[in-house]
Amino acid sequence: MEFQQSWQGASEGTKSRVDFVRSVYLWLMGGFAVAALGALSAPMIGRALIAVAGGFWHWILFGVQFGSLMFASAVSRRRPLNRIAFGLFTYISGAIAGIVALIVAQGAGFMPVLTAFSLTGVVFLTLTVTAFVSKRDFSFLRNFVIVGVVVAVFGSLAAAIFHLETLSLVISGVAVIAFSAKLLWDTSAMLRTQDFGDPAGFALSLFVSLYNIFISLMNLLGGRRR
């Protein structure tokens, strides 16, 4: 009897985890769909921001994106507000990615954009399979990820403020490595967590990593040709 109850408990726990992981990736796929809509509206949004804010448009857009990220993180467990916040953040991020893609394409053509998109997909699939197959705990990457993300954020701000193109390329390389490590860490945490109540939060974290990998790869590939 005890063995049967233990087996049933393990079976129910496995089912709950499978449902949770499925929910995380459904959220993520929904975020990609909304981001695609944002990318399609990028030309219109870019023209509107330039008309309103002039040369400060990119700082305003960055501030709105950061604010929407904080909002989505804060309400990730609150339904239906988490759906609205997640959709808002992914839409804004998609619009920014679309604007960056247009800027890169103007200087280097669309090949760097398509290559960056393909490489992001390869990174996502490779690291996801690695986490699923190895079943390792990648939490040891925590300190590396934190340092890498901090360097990437402040380095990119410095490069933007002082117009340092070489620094921007170096920081993009750091960002690709740091957010790839974060993607692996987050996927591992998703597979090991006992808290199944926040699929939106995990999806948000995965989306942020993939977004930054894509943007950084576009800057690396396009910056070398501009």
CB 151 within 8 A of CB 174: yes
How many alpha carbons fall within 13 Å on the CB side of residue 34?
Answer: 20
Cα(220)–Cα(214) distance, integer angstroms: 10
Dig out the tokens for 4 from the structure.
């049967």
pLDDT under 50 in the chain at which residues?
A: 2-10, 226
Cα(176)–Cα(223) distance, integer angstroms: 15
CB 61 within 8 A of CB 1: no
Q: Is the pTM of this model over 0.85?
A: yes
The angle, 0 to 180 degrees and rounded to 10, between the axes of the packed helices 111-134 and 199-223 is: 140
Overall domain count for the chain: 1
pLDDT tens-place string over residues 153-168: 999 999 988 888 899 9
Cα(168)–Cα(158) distance, integer angstroms: 9
Domain that holds residue 147: 2-223
Identify the pLDDT of residue 4. Answer: 47
CB 37 within 8 A of CB 57: no
Distances (CA, A) of 38 to 21, 34, 56, 60, 193: 26, 6, 20, 16, 32
Identify the pLDDT of residue 2. Answer: 47
Identify the pLDDT of residue 224. Answer: 52
pLDDT tens-place string over residues 167-209: 999 999 999 999 999 999 999 999 999 999 999 999 999 999 9
Locate all alpha helices (DSSP H) within 135-224, ordered by sequence. 142-162, 165-192, 199-223
Alpha-carbon dihedral sign for residues 41, 159, 217, 183: negative
**Closest to 90 (Cα-Cα) out of 8, 171, 155, 28:** 28
